[in-house]
Amino acid sequence: MSCKVTDWGQSKEWLKDSLVMTVALPTEETIAAIATAISAGQGGIAVVRISGPKALPISKSIVFVPGERLWKSHTILYGYVMNEQNNERIDEVLILTMKGPRSFTGEDVVEIHCHGGLIAVQRVLERVLKHPEVRRAMPGEFSQRAVLNGRLDLTQAEAISELVGARSKKAAQLAMAGIDGGIQRRITSLRESLLDQLSELEARVDFEDELPPLNGTDVLNELLKIQSQLQTLIEDAERGSVLRQGLRVALIGCPNVGKSSLLNRLSRRERAIVTDVPGTTRDLLESEIILEGVPITLLDTAGIRTTSDEIEKLGIARSQEALIGADVVVLVFDLSLGWTNNDQALLAQIPQDSHSLLVGNKFDIKNNTNLVNREQFISQMEPYVTFSAITGEGEEALIHALLKICGAHETQAIQIALNERQRDLAAKATAALERTKEVASQELPWDFWTIDLREAIQSLGEITGHEITEALLDRIFSRFCIGK
């Protein structure tokens, strides 16, 4: 194993400092935005957040607080937001003050808690923004300031955004793991291990004659161990993306095979109209459901057939488009009729690179004599399940098969999940470590090893924010919604 160098100034701490990029401090501007979701008639309260050096004086200038009340940090005051022109009361509010650095952004923050809905909160925000020393916050700017002021690390800020947008309980749990620092700790630990190895290699470059020899095989084995751990994180991230983004599942089939009945069964409500008349569904119908913690958008498509009805033709065209954009295509056929030429024609239309599932519906009234060449079409399209949308028989097997196709059934064991940006950087670090195999096989000098090792360290530093530029931060936080 390599020895630790301490006498030549080539320590891991020196390398760490030398690899960190400079990030500009946040501006001295005061910003404001609505920090809660708003919609007409929904929500009893809404929050307008103000952050920056002028947050307190701006709030005092627009809010009337009855009596003699002190604006102390981390206290709540009761009052009214006032119209500056006619002294009209715009809204009855509670005011929460938080002096920096004990606030979300690390700056002085005032939150005005007003009534929800659309009009009241918008009027309060408009009143705030009329003050000449405040401007509207950009998307993600509150979180960006929190990172720049050291209140959050980059992975925690991204996890907050993911928690707000979580579409399932498991997705929310993974987001909370990120907020608790799970991703930061894991990536920082791997980066520290790489810094240990880099410090040893750098020392040999400058002082090889004065140090014990370094075993290249041992160094390579250590790097490959770290690479393996990164690869596990990448694989978990790919499965975790299903929990964040969900799956789009297109239900296709000939008219009247039971696609709408299947959708209603899985949705647990009468989402689609069901009749015995072929061609009832004439447009795409979407239903959002959660199956074993995985968000799924079911797309009930128009039955694909030859028709002279112009409206039905439009629906069929949209059905064919849905085949291309779906994560999984479920081809439903009628067990009571057996496998027909029309079913075979639909099977041929499914893109070869798509995940697909064959569902034989109407199991409750199946006709075994009509299931001709059953083995032939099953062998063309696995997995295959039988199902009854009326009785629910086969529903558990259908759900299991659907989730297994995309690996979604393996998500429950995931403890942390990198997002897309983090996953790409982890993959970049993995590729850099992979190149050290070639360097080792050619027995090149130690300084050749440091090139790829530095790239891997830099990529991991970009995940956590140890190495990041202001321009990159702007790009990351511009994807957040305003108010975060």
| CATH code, domain carrying 394 | 3.40.50.300
**Judgement on whether residues 144 and 251 belong to the same structural domain of the protein:** no
Q: Which of 21-35, 408-422, 427-441 shows the lowest per-residue confidence on average (mean pLDDT)?
A: 21-35
Is residue 438 a part of any domain in this protein? no
pLDDT at 399 over 80: yes
**Judgement on whether residues 392 and 260 belong to the same structural domain of the protein:** yes
| CATH code, domain carrying 110 | 3.30.1360.120
Q: What is the total count of domains within the chain?
A: 2
Average pLDDT over the chain, rounded to whole? 79
Could you write out the three-class secondary structure of the chain? CCCCCCCCCCCHHHHHHHCCCCCCCCCCCEEEEECCCCECCECCEEEEEEECCCHHHHHHHHEECCCCCCCCCCEEEEEEEECCCCCCEEEEEEEEEECCCCCCCCCCEEEEEEECCCHHHHHHHHHHHCCCCEEECCCCHHHHHHHHCCCCCHHHHHHHHHHHCCCCHHHHHHHHHHHCCHHHHHHHHHHHHHHHHHHHHHHHHHHHHHCCCCCHHHHHHHHHHHHHHHHHHHHHHHHHHHHHHCEEEEEEECCCCCHHHHHHHHHCCCCCCCCCCCCCCCCCEEEEEEECCEEEEEEECCCCCCCCCHHHHHHHHHHHHHHHHCCEEEEEEECCCCCCHHHHHHHHHCCCCCEEEEEEECHHHCCHHHCCCHHHHHHHCCCEEECCCCCCCCHHHHHHHHHHHCCHHHHHHCCCCCCHHHHHHHHHHHHHHHHHHHHHHCCCCHHHHHHHHHHHHHHHHHHHCCCCCHHHHHHHHCCCCCCC
Is residue 87 a part of any domain in this protein? yes
Mean of the pLDDT values across residues 340-367? 80
Is residue 275 a part of any domain in this protein? yes
pLDDT above 70 as % of the chain: 77
Is residue 352 a part of any domain in this protein? yes
pLDDT at res. 346: 81
**Judgement on whether residues 257 and 377 belong to the same structural domain of the protein:** yes
Is residue 478 a part of any domain in this protein? no
pLDDT tens column, 120-176: 999 999 999 999 999 999 988 999 999 889 888 889 989 988 888 887 788 888 889
**Judgement on whether residues 261 and 375 belong to the same structural domain of the protein:** yes
**Judgement on whether residues 266 and 395 belong to the same structural domain of the protein:** yes
pLDDT tens column, 1-32: 333 333 433 343 434 444 443 344 456 899 99
Q: Which residue type does 209 have?
A: D
**Judgement on whether residues 274 and 140 belong to the same structural domain of the protein:** no
**Judgement on whether residues 251 and 144 belong to the same structural domain of the protein:** no
> Which of 252, 304, 298, 311 has the alpha carbon at shortest distance from 278?
304
Query: Domain boundary residue among 90, 117, 148?
Result: 148
pLDDT tens column, 56-87: 999 999 999 998 888 999 999 999 999 888 88
**Judgement on whether residues 144 and 253 belong to the same structural domain of the protein:** no
Is residue 316 a part of any domain in this protein? yes
pLDDT at 220 over 80: yes
Is residue 306 a part of any domain in this protein? yes
pLDDT tens column, 439-471: 888 877 777 888 999 999 999 999 988 876 666
Domain range for 123 = 30-148
Is residue 213 a part of any domain in this protein? no
pLDDT at 105 over 70: yes
pLDDT at res. 429: 95
Query: Domain boundary residue among 148, 173, 195?
Result: 148
Q: Which of 98-102, 208-212, 291-295, 399-403 shows the lowest per-residue confidence on average (mean pLDDT)?
A: 208-212
Query: Domain boundary residue among 95, 113, 148?
Result: 148
